[in-house]
């Protein structure tokens, strides 16, 4: 795999009315092309801050961000984001929500050939996440899991090279969450984008990833980069594989040794 994105000695300090808050300290991170990378860490450790820096939505206070060996300036080209809470527009149908990013890029409804291609692409994506037949519904007519699937389709219609996901399944029930993991793996296999996935769930991180980044409490530092040696495709049997439980336990042990997880 070749290097896609690199964070070098990244610090982030927020200057607030009540004083400075150091969110990140000395983050070195390489992300490889096509890799599925997860970031786990306690609440407030700087996970969303890292994601915003990778996306170019925020700048490091110190250090640098490089994409394909050039310094990142402005918003990262080819990156799409899925947030914890879906941000669908209530007055647009499912289909019109999915095609929205293309319209914002100036590919308008007035251009008939693009309109048809965009529509076909949106329908294909919706079908691949089990939403065939829901294209003319409105967000309020969907469940939380369905809305989050629409958000993923809206990110993928941009053909992103990098999909950034900030606890995208956090608000979903356990069963829907599990289904979403399978859907995401299927999509990442089909469209071959690079993924940075932020989660509180150790199991979710190990199940999905090629590599898991384990973070300390604030100021967030990287405690461990753990390569996940599980074969792909990941399926129902993955969780009963010894490597799965070894990796999950290793991450839990790190959090316990840091006092982030305490049994009593």
Q: Which residues bind Mg ion (CB under 5 A)?
A: 48
The verdict on 44 binding ligand ATP (CB under 6 A) reads yes
Take residue 23 and report the two structure tokens written for it: 């969110």
Q: In terms of Cα–Cα distance, which of 119, 182, 120, 118 is closest to 145?
A: 182
The verdict on 260 binding ligand ATP (CB under 6 A) reads no
Which of Mg ion, ligand ATP, none does 46 bind, CB closer than 5 to 8 A by kind?
Answer: ligand ATP
The verdict on 45 binding ligand ATP (CB under 6 A) reads yes
Min separation Cβ 205 and ligand ATP, Å: 13
Q: What's the rounded Cα separation, in Å, for the pair 129 and 144?
A: 14
Q: Are 194 and 33 in contact (CB under 8 A)?
A: yes
Measured from the CB atom, the residue of 47 and 154 that comes closer to ligand ATP is 47
Specify which residues 81 forms β-bridges with: 164
Min separation Cβ 158 and ligand ATP, Å: 23
* Eight-class DSSP state of 34: T
Helix, strand, coil distribution of the chain in percent, nearest 5:
35, 25, 40
Which of ligand ATP, Mg ion, none does 2 bind, CB closer than 5 to 8 A by kind?
Answer: none
Q: In terms of Cα–Cα distance, which of 67, 57, 59, 64 is closest to 31?
A: 67
Measured from the CB atom, the residue of 3 and 258 that comes closer to ligand ATP is 258
The verdict on 16 binding ligand ATP (CB under 6 A) reads yes
Q: Which listed residue (2, 43, 113, 236) binds ligand ATP by CB under 6 A?
A: 43
The verdict on 49 binding ligand ATP (CB under 6 A) reads yes
Among residue numbers 205 through 234, which ones bind ligand ATP (CB under 6 A)?
Answer: 218
Specify which residues 70 forms β-bridges with: 67
Maximum CA extent, the chain: 64
Specify which residues 165 forms β-bridges with: 82, 197
Is there a cis peptide before residue 219, judged by omega within 30 degrees of 0?
yes
Take residue 158 and report the two structure tokens written for it: 């941009």
Q: What's the rounded Cα separation, in Å, for the pair 3 and 253?
A: 30
The verdict on 14 binding ligand ATP (CB under 6 A) reads yes
Min separation Cβ 21 and ligand ATP, Å: 5
Which of Mg ion, ligand ATP, none does 23 bind, CB closer than 5 to 8 A by kind?
Answer: ligand ATP
Min separation Cβ 137 and ligand ATP, Å: 30
- Which residues contribute to the site for ligand ATP (CB under 6 A)? 14, 16, 21, 23, 41, 43-49, 218
């Amino acid at each position: 795999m070749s290097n896609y994105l690199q964070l070098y000695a990244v610090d982030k300090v927020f200057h607030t009315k009540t004083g400075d808050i150091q969110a990140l300290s000395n983050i070195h991170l390489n992300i490889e092309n096509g890799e599925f990378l997860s970031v786990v860490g306690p609440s407030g450790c700087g996970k969303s801050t890292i994601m915003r820096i990778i996306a170019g939505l925020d700048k490091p206070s110190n250090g640098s961000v490089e994409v394909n060996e050039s310094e990142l300036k402005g918003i990262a080209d080819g990156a799409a984001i899925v947030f914890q809470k879906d941000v669908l527009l209530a007055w647009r149908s499912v289909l019109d929500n999915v095609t929205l990013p293309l319209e914002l890029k100036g590919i308008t409804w007035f251009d008939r050939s693009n309109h048809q291609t965009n529509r076909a692409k949106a329908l294909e994506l919706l079908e691949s996440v089990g939403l065939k037949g829901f294209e003319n519904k409105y967000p309020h007519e969907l469940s939380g899991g369905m809305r989050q699937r629409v958000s993923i389709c809206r990110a993928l219609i941009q053909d992103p090279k990098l999909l950034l996901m900030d606890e995208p399944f956090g608000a979903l029930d356990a069963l829907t969450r599990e289904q979403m993991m399978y859907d995401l793996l299927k999509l990442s296999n089909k469209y071959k984008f690079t993924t940075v996935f932020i989660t509180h769930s150790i199991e979710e991180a190990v199940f999905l990833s090629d590599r898991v980044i384990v973070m300390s409490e604030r100021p967030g530092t990287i405690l461990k980069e753990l390569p996940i040696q599980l074969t792909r495709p990941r399926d129902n049997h993955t969780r009963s594989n010894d490597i799965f439980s070894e990796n999950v336990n290793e991450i839990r042990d790190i959090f316990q040794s840091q006092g982030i997880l305490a049994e009593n």
